[in-house]
Amino acid sequence: MNNYHSISNKTLDLTTIQDIVTEHKKLQLSEEAKQSILKCREYLDEKMKSQDKPIYGINTGFGSLYNVKISRENLTKLQENLVMSHACGTGEQVPQKVVKLMLLFKIQSLSYGHSGVQLETVNRLIEFFNNDILPVVYTQGSLGASGDLAPLAHLSLPLLGKGEVVFEGELMASEVLLKKLNWAPIALRSKEGLALLNGTQFMSAYGVHLLLKSYKLSYLADLIGCVSLDAFDGRIEPFNELVHLARPHNGQLKTAERVREFLDGSALITQEKQHVQDPYSFRCIPQVHGASKDTLAFVEKTFKTEINSVTDNPNIFAEEDEIISGGNFHGQPLALALDYLKIAMAELGNISERRIFQLVSGLRGLPAFLVNNPGLNSGFMIPQYTAASIVSANKQLATPASVDSIVSSNGQEDHVSMGANAATQAYKLVNNVERILAIELFNASQALQLRSPLKSSEFIESFLKSYQEVVPFVTDDRILHDDIERSISFIENLQIDSAELF
């Protein structure tokens, strides 16, 4: 099995990224990418030999200091100063899985040959990726325009032997790491610091990480929703394909089809019902879950474009003999997509909590709070409180960050995306949805066991058998926090084929 992924002009997509992540693949530059990087750097070096007029960020200051000309002998110092001065992040550390994606996407963006970096610089970033040398990056500091300046500065510091990294589970100074591996610091040349810092890789890495997780949670929302539907003695008619062909949103059709497949062969779903309709949280699963699926498709399209793009500034076009200062670092497309993702995922949590509420309400022959001897036992009364608390927190996190802006750099950078804030909010929100779905699974598993001897489908029974080995039936009150944590862990560790997800 080839354990390398070749960095080239071939489009990165979610399936490829999932494969890189799960198979722990290493990176290598294609010959095409190497030549693109070398030609661009050679062009820039030749240009600078005869260049006296100011070119933003190459021989000038940055931001509102764009008019300050820098002498040729200070161009390396200019780039190093840029990286150090912009390393102003604070707050929590960015999760290591996200940092690794930041490295991947920065390498991809630099490989197109429009950034002017040295091949040596890109190769060092690849060494970081391949050896799990993960720079310490902080969650706070980016406005989501001019690129993710502060986070990317922290990502770049170890190239200079500065800042900190996590290597082999140990936090260490980058200077110590370089000595340990007998590596020399990279001497940045003109434009390189700006190429490293201008870009959207912080937002992009969060977005792609959350997309991968959100697709999994979307699948599980359908599956767990089916367990709840069967446990609630729900009806199958609302999932008939005819209903959804009459309103053929892609996500709606896909959700209804999944529900039919998951419940195929269930004795519970086919038994005679005493009720004509189910509450919306069951009956409208295709419409609600489906709308979130359609949102994920939009968000995926946005991020797929972004991670296969050049997002630093200025852009160098060697063949056209042009160096152009533009605005590809502006995170507005990502900010809007991340806000949309937040809203869509919050709704999956919202409707899940409503199903939890219905299951514990003592309806349709289920005991109140899903426990024997209610009164002496409180049973599943309080897990619903927990889910409701998380749902309410998600409503606050789902407030759009992208409608905000604030002036920076002395008025030169007068409109920003706030996409980085949207990214960190989305990270908390999506993890919260995982917790809500874990609580629904905990409730639904209990409720379905109370329907014995009637069984659900073979697929659902097999799924629940694995779950119930981790979280068994609750006979009498016990510390349910432990069960909830085990339920979350069960969902986190569940492996689902990517063909089922995307």
Q: Residue 49: pLDDT above 60?
A: yes
Model confidence at 50, pLDDT cuts 50, 70, 90, reads confident
Which residues make beta-bridge pairs with 60? Answer: 69
Confidence of residue 373 (pLDDT cuts 50, 70, 90): confident
Q: Where are the domains of the chain?
A: 4-199, 206-311+344-501
| Residue 153 near residue 137, CB atoms below 8 Å | no
**End-to-end Cα, the chain, rounded Å:** 23
On the question of pLDDT at 194 being above 60, the answer is yes
CATH of 4-199, one of 3.40.50.1950, 3.10.580.10, 1.10.275.10, 1.20.210.10: 1.10.275.10
Q: What is the pLDDT of residue 256?
A: 98
8 A C-beta contact, residue 212 and residue 17: yes
| Residue 38, H or E segment | helix 31-49
Instruction: Check whether 52 has a pLDDT greater than 90.
Output: no
Do the beta carbons of residue 229 and residue 269 sit within 8 Å? yes
Could you tell me the two tokens for 360?
A: 């514990």
Nearest to 58 by CA among 262, 222, 195: 195
The strand pair at 315-317 and 170-173 is best described as unpaired
What integer pLDDT is reported at residue 248 of this predicted model?
98
pLDDT at 54: 74
Strand partners for 145 = none
pTM of the model: 0.96
Alpha-carbon span 311 to 327, nearest angstrom: 8
Question: Can you tell me the distance from the alpha carbon of 102 to that of 500, in angstroms, rounded to the nearest whole number?
Answer: 26
**pLDDT, mean over the chain:** 95
Long-range pairs of 217-220 with CB within 8 A, sequence gap ≥ 24? 217/345, 217/348, 217/430, 217/433, 217/434, 217/437, 218/289, 218/292, 218/293, 218/296, 218/348, 218/501, 219/258, 219/496, 219/500, 219/501, 220/437, 220/491, 220/494, 220/496
Checking DSSP bridges between strand 138-140 and strand 134-135, what pairing results, if any? unpaired
- Asked whether the beta carbons of 28 and 6 are under 8 A apart, the reply is yes
Active site residue 56: yes
Instruction: Give the tens place of pLDDT for each residue, 254-271.
Output: 999 999 999 999 999 999
Specify the pLDDT at position 379: 95
What mean pLDDT is predicted for residues 278-305?
98
Side-chain half-sphere exposure of 271, counting CA atoms within 13 A? 16
- What span, in angstroms and rounded, lies between the C-alpha atoms of 295 and 38? 40
Check whether 405 has a pLDDT greater than 90. yes
Pairing mode, if any, of strands 26-29 and 4-7?
Answer: parallel
Among candidate residues 43, 56, 112, 427, the one labeled active-site is 56
pLDDT in tens, 2-38: 799 999 988 999 999 999 999 999 999 999 999 999 9
CATH architecture of 206-311+344-501: Up-down Bundle (1.20)
Query: Residue 372 — φ and ψ, nearest 5°?
Result: -75, 150
- The C-alpha atoms of residue 4 and residue 15 are separated, in whole angstroms, by 15
| pLDDT of amino acid 63 | 66
Q: At 345, list the tokens.
A: 């995922």
For residues 65-84, average pLDDT: 80
Residue 64: what pLDDT?
64
E strands, 223-363, are 315-317, 322-324
- The arithmetic mean of pLDDT across residues 116-138, rounded, is 98
Lowest mean pLDDT among 249-253, 413-417, 465-469, 474-478: 413-417
C-alpha distances in Å from residue 205, one per residue of 17, 200, 210: 11, 9, 8
- 1 pLDDT higher than 60: no
Residues with Cβ within 8 Å of residue 255, at least 6 apart in sequence: 222, 285, 286, 289, 290, 293
Quick check: 475 pLDDT over 70? yes
* pLDDT value at 397 more than 80: yes
Q: Which of 86, 456, 53, 29 is nearest to 266 (CA)?
A: 456
Specify the residue for token string 């959350």. Answer: 210
| Residue labelled with tokens 């560790």 | 493
Reported as a pLDDT band with limits 50, 70 and 90, residue 410 is confident
Asked if pLDDT for residue 251 goes beyond 60, the answer is yes
Three-state secondary structure call for residue 172: strand
Q: Which pLDDT belongs to residue 66?
A: 63
pLDDT digits (tens, 9 = 90+) for 327-371: 999 999 999 999 999 999 999 999 999 999 999 999 999 999 999
Compute the half-sphere exposure of residue 382: CA atoms within 13 Å on the CB side of its CA. Answer: 10
